[in-house]
Structure 1
Amino acid sequence: MRKLSGIFLVGLCLGAIGAVVVTASHTTSAASEPIAVTEPVTTITAAPGSPTGEPAPEATPTPAPKAGPAPVKVDAGTLDGLVHGGEVSAVVFDRQRGAATVSVHADRQYTSASLVKLLIALSVLQQNGPVADVQRMLSRSDDELASRFWADYGGPSIVTRWAAKLHLTGTRPPSDPGRWGDTSITAADVVRIYQYLVAHGPSAIMSALRGATERGSDGFRQYFGIPDATDGRAWAVKQGWSCCRPTRTLHTSGVVGEDSRYIVVVLTEHPARVDYATASKRVTDIVSTLLG
């Protein structure tokens, strides 16, 4: 959730609920077929750290793909029609293929809301900060912890350092140094962050995202989007929500499938008159469309 000041305030909506221990990963069945595709397939720059941005795959025979329904084609018009007066950007990146199968408005900028907590977590753990608190900040989207870490571990320089390291071309720190949730992001940049997290990031971060609780620390239901739309696939997520300067923001991001095969990022803005329940359903419908 977007922080409205540098002081330790809880964000919008409901009051904080009790502490919840970060749980084990959501590991039901994972789909082996490709998810929805658009044409042409595009490539996103590999994350730094290795020639491809990820560890080299083991030299094992590739099993024949299972037969499945024809992939769903998703275009900008289809997704734009699901937000009714708002804006949407979406990228689905297939780590096995090393390319994006969906890329719609990938470089459009949005305020990050709580997605910037991924960069805050990287900075805290890089400096040997408290692992358990970082995991709580991520799994429960705890704004108070995010504000404390933002103040203690570099503020806007957190964003500039990681943007340079990960080659995030559309990510910018907030103009007001205390409003970490006003960091600018793009869907393409969020994909690059997940490429780095999966391949090279501290394991504590992905564990926290696999253990995301249904309710955030402010009581907001954060299972919209990827969790509600995955239909039994394994997932790990970081969500974002905020309102209303001037729009209502809802973002869903994470990995889906066996071995975190698909990175899925959906960023949305809705008119302020659209309530959270309606906006949440729209984001879930977008992800359902992407997953076919």
Structure 2
Amino acid sequence: MRFLRLGAPGAEIPAVSDGDGTWDLRPLTADIDGAFLAADGLARAEAAARAGDLPPLDPSGLRVGAPIARPQAVVCIGMNYAAHARESGSEPPGDIVVFYKHPNTVVGPYDDILLPPGSTTTDWEVELAVVIGRRARYLDSPEEALAHVAGFAVANDVSEREYQLQRSLGQWSKGKSFETFNPLGPWLVPAAEVGDGSGLGIRSWVNGEPRQDSSTSDLVFGIADIIYRLSRFMVLEPGDLINTGTPEGVGLSGRFPYLGAGDVVEVTIDGLGEQRSVVRPAP
């Protein structure tokens, strides 16, 4: 099953689809948010859809929003593919590198990416996103971690490298928190259908030209280990979003030009869908 939100920004309709039909989730919940996820909402919604207890919804002509309502936290893991760490000028880290994005960076998978005024170093980063479904606090081991995952989605951790690196004073979030800098979706796929998140092909293109082509099996820290480590110094709440790192092939490598107005960015992960964003100047 695929969970998604359809409609204009701020007025999205929660929905579930099996690829053939789409059903309205509003008899069960006002939105796909932390409270819904914590109450075993994905399993209840799937059961209701299969039982015919939800009204059908025609998605034709409706904008696809981010598959979860605005999260209270967007937690990101940096340099989590060895080859990307090296193309960034660093060796793979011995522990997770953590930074944050403002929650209002999260937009739909086909929404425009708005180029900050004067930016010449805006970059793409396809990432496997994890959505938390159960509170995770001081977990004892990575083996406990996956039980706290609601599902997975595709994310693009868009980054303005000048603000991230030259103007950051050591804090990456300056280059990560511009509006529209976290396209998410199109779907939230339940963890039961994805497993531990390994073995998934992960790719990106700019203007139809290949950029990134890797596998989530190449993560330095796997999903279970990331959640376990995060839980040792922060409490993860239902609905929180975790971006787990990007593979090599970004503009920062020096092998490709950075994004400019009119560029088209496409990203995909096996089984989780595809995004297509057009880069436009911020008004």
Q: TM-score, normalised by structure 1?
A: 0.30
Q: Which structure has the highest strand share of the two?
A: 2
1 or 2 for the larger relative contact order (CA 8 Å, sep ≥6)?
Answer: 1
Q: Which structure has the highest helix share of the two?
A: 1
